[in-house]
Amino acid sequence: MIKLLNVTKRYSNGVEALKNITLTIEQGEFVYLVGQSGAGKSTLVKLLYRELVPTEGFITINNFDLRQMRERQVPQLRRTLGVVFQDFKLLPKMTVAENIGYALQVIGKSDSEINDAVSQVLAEVGLSDQADHFPDELSGGQQQRVAIARAIVNDPKTVIADEPTGNLDPQTSNDIMAILARINAKGTTVIMATHNQQIVDELPQRVVEVAHGQIIRDEQGGQYTHELDNDSQPSAR
Amino acid sequence: MNWTTIRNHLQDSFKSIKRNGWMAFAAISGVAVTILLVGISLAVVLNVTKLSRDVENDVRVQVAVEPKTTAKQKDKLEAQLKDIPSVKKITYSSKANELTKIVSQYGSSFKMFGGDDNPLPDMFILEASDPQKTVTIANRAKKLTHVSRASYGGSQTKKLFSTMNSVRNWGLAFSILLLFVAVFLISNTIRITILSRSTEIEIMRLVGATRWYIRWPFILEGAWTGLLGVIVPLIAIDLGYSSIFRGVGRQLATSGYSLIQPQALIWPLNISLLVIAMLIGAFGAAISMRRFLKV
Ligand SMILES: Nc1ncnc2c1ncn2[C@@H]1O[C@H](COP(=O)(O)OP(=O)(O)O)[C@@H](O)[C@H]1O
Ligand SMILES: [Mg+2]
């Protein structure tokens, strides 16, 4: 379970990216964070995996109290999370299998554990045949699937994705969404920041809309835009 | 930490040194020059300490007799010297005897001063009951007739000490300067490594690698740089000291002073230098990690 209570994030330059946010997400939910560019989606996401600490307010996630947490406990929190980005962040000199295994290697897993887990997630994202390819031999959609495989290889309770389809065409985006939906169906919480209207409208889930650092809508099975505020229709990006 | 982890760290750190190529070579050379100077300075310091202790414990006062002093006058002088308080023992050494000592120290070319050409004085060698008394004894002996010169250990070795001291001081000053250069060079290579591995570091942080897991390869890289840098200077210092000991040692032998035995000096010196080199490496790594490794 994830809880944010009266969370405010002010950057050192004075920008208040989030203002007094309160939000609860149950285990196993699928949540879209939508809103215009600059609304504060990425800031919210970074607070969740504790890349950032809130200026004010409380956050608990997977039983970790992010406010009281000490710096050296952060790795333990991150092992319960899987994070996916728009730019994949794959290591170019490693194969697909090595990129995924790396996530387990650096937390001290043995080679045999790594091999088993990697072949399993490769199958889950449909890339078993590409295990020994290098990232630059793959399409963007395939690279993002590798990144997702890496995010879920340690069985996280929560997957956090910041614009995972931002660099992908609509068809490939749908493939990615199907994989995320499948992960969610197994009980993993999925939180996805996006401003891709088509996706949100085609795969309805809980929608949390952020504008100017505040939650202006929280709607189960919602569309990207609320019927009532069509005027403030966000332009993509 | 398990074996897989240790293996990963070792591999990462070796890979980085190889990848950094010339930068790593510069850092290793920096360590080498630093360690060479630190080593020489330390060897000098230790020997100066040893020699000054030898001198402090030296109870001898050398009294040179004026040329053309008759045997009778010498007997009288011997009696007077014996009367000086705190003189425990007195031995006579003729100028021929003194020449033999010189020849054994500096080689047979001095033999040509034999016989009447011998410019050396006859000597009385006094032994004080206590090393502290040597100064007073020398001062009193100087005032006696037919005494041309009276010297004790301290006065003889002053010049040697002042040379050794300036070697030590310059050596230490240079060492400190070079220490900074070496640390700088190492921190520079580590910085390059950190920057070239920024995506890896980002992934490691993201998937929950511990801070120490992320740091280890950089610390090791620094330590290897120190270790590789220490090899050549250690060999040079060990061989160099052994041969200096043989050379200078022989010259000192007759004076009753001696340098530290190579076996006694080399091991402690090697270990200290090794530790210093690894610390330089780790310190260089730490500087860059503080500045560039945000974990
Ligand atoms: N590191 C930062 N320092 C200062 N301001 C930032 C930083 N990151 C984001 N911001 C500002 O915070 C606001 C929210 O940004 P962000 O969370 O990235 O929005 P979104 O992901 O919805 O586009 C923007 O005004 C942005 O300029
Ligand atoms: Mg963003």
Same-domain status, B207 and B223: yes
- Which helix or strand (DSSP H or E) is residue B98 part of? helix B95-106
Nearest Cα of chain B lies from the Cα of A135 at a distance, in angstroms, of 14
Tell me the two tokens of residue A24. 């609860």
Domain boundaries, chain A: 2-232
Answer with the one of B136, B152, B168 that is the final residue of a domain. B152
Same-domain status, B288 and B208: yes
Cα(B255)–Cα(B54) distance, integer angstroms = 11
- Average confidence (pLDDT) over A22-41: 96
The larger pLDDT score, comparing residue A2 to residue B10, is at A2
Same-domain status, B166 and B148: no
Same-domain status, B225 and B98: no
How big is chain B, counted in residues?
295
Same-domain status, B50 and B63: no
CB contact under 8 A, A107 and B211: no
Please state, for a pLDDT cut of 90, what percent of chain A lies above it.
89
Cα(B234)–Cα(A124) distance, integer angstroms = 57
> What pLDDT score does A229 carry?
52
Same-domain status, B136 and B169: no
Does the reported pTM lie above 0.90?
A: no
- Average confidence (pLDDT) over A136-149: 97
Name the band, by pLDDT with cuts 50, 70 and 90, for residue A236. very low
- Predicted confidence (pLDDT) at residue B242 exceeds the cutoff of 60: yes
Q: Which domain holds residue B129?
A: 59-152
Answer with the one of B152, B182, B206 that is the final residue of a domain. B152
Question: Does the CB of B6 have a partner CB in chain A at under 8 Å?
Answer: no
- Taking domain A2-232, whether its CATH number is 3.40.1210.10 is answered by no
> Please, which residues have CB within 8 angstroms of residue A130's CB and are 6 or more apart in sequence?
A96, A122, A137, A138, A142, A146
Cα(B43)–Cα(B210) distance, integer angstroms = 43
Answer with the one of B91, B118, B152 that is the final residue of a domain. B152
Q: How far is the CA of A27 from the centre of ligand 2 (A)?
A: 24
- Choice among A39-43, A213-217, B97-101, B105-109 with the minimum mean pLDDT: B105-109
**B19-76 residue pLDDT tens:** 878 878 888 888 898 888 888 888 888 887 787 777 777 788 888 898 888 888 888 8
Same-domain status, B88 and B175: no
B147: amino acid identity, one letter: V
Q: How far is the CA of B175 from the centre of ligand 2 (A)?
A: 52
Under DSSP, is residue B120 helix (H, G, I), strand (E, B) or coil?
Answer: coil
Same-domain status, B45 and B191: yes
Cα(A67)–Cα(A52) distance, integer angstroms = 11
Same-domain status, B286 and B177: yes
CB contact under 8 A, A71 and B5: no
CB contact under 8 A, B199 and A91: yes
Question: Which residue(s) pair with A18 in the sheet?
Answer: A9
Averaged pLDDT score across all residues of chain A: 93
Same-domain status, B129 and B79: yes
* Nearest residue, CB atoms, A83 vs list B1, B5, B206: B206
Please state, for a pLDDT cut of 70, what percent of chain B lies above it.
91
| Residue having the nearest C-alpha atom to atom 26 of ligand 1 | A38
- Average confidence (pLDDT) over B254-277: 84
Name the band, by pLDDT with cuts 50, 70 and 90, for residue A118. very high
Same-domain status, B45 and B180: yes
**A-chain residue closest to B1, CA distance:** A108
| Residue having the nearest C-alpha atom to atom 12 of ligand 1 | A17
Q: Report the domain count for chain B.
A: 2
Cα(A128)–Cα(A122) distance, integer angstroms = 5
- Choice among A90-99, A137-146, B173-182 with the minimum mean pLDDT: B173-182
- Predicted confidence (pLDDT) at residue A125 exceeds the cutoff of 90: yes
Q: Which ligand is nearest to the CA of A164?
A: 2
Name the band, by pLDDT with cuts 50, 70 and 90, for residue B248. confident
Same-domain status, B126 and B256: no
Averaged pLDDT score across all residues of chain B: 83
CB contact under 8 A, A89 and B2: no
Q: How many CB atoms lie within 10 A of CB A6?
A: 12
